[in-house]
Amino acid sequence: MINPKGEQMKIADTAKMVFGPDGVLTTINGMSLEEFDRHQKEALAFQEAMSYEDQIAYLKTYKKSVFTYWMEDGTWKVAGDSQSDRAEMEVFFAEYPQVGVKRIEFHD
């Protein structure tokens, strides 16, 4: 994940969530929920502007596993997981099939 300054965040940094007295999430990584949502949308737009190969290479720089969802409608989405490697993700996808996904391709 990239922080608002454009710097790569560590896994530990991605878990800084603050909850209010009523148990409702109020901030993530020091950002309000609105700021965090806007940041996530900007990061996604940045990634989607890259070519398929560049998205894979970019995610490989900071994800433990990188994969492509090939959707039933013919579209695709490159994604990754920061905490789980390929073997762990294969188990996860076997236990929790992804809706609308035709197949998942891993990029080692």
Closest CA to 78 of 108, 50, 56, 107: 56
pLDDT at 2 over 60: no
Identify the three-state secondary structure at position 95: helix
pLDDT at 71 over 70: yes
pLDDT at 15 over 90: no
> From CA 69, how far away is CA 32, in angstroms rounded?
30
Residue scoring higher pLDDT (106 or 32): 106
Contacts (Cβ under 8 Å, ≥6 apart) of 88: 65, 81
pLDDT band of 100, cuts 50, 70, 90? very high
Question: What integer pLDDT is reported at residue 46 of this predicted model?
Answer: 83
Question: What integer pLDDT is reported at residue 57 of this predicted model?
Answer: 94
CA angle at 77 for the pair 72 and 80, rounded to the nearest 5°:
125
Helix pair 33-48, 52-60: axis angle to 10 deg: 130
> From CA 66, how far away is CA 85, in angstroms rounded?
9
Contacts (Cβ under 8 Å, ≥6 apart) of 70: 76, 101, 102, 103, 104, 105
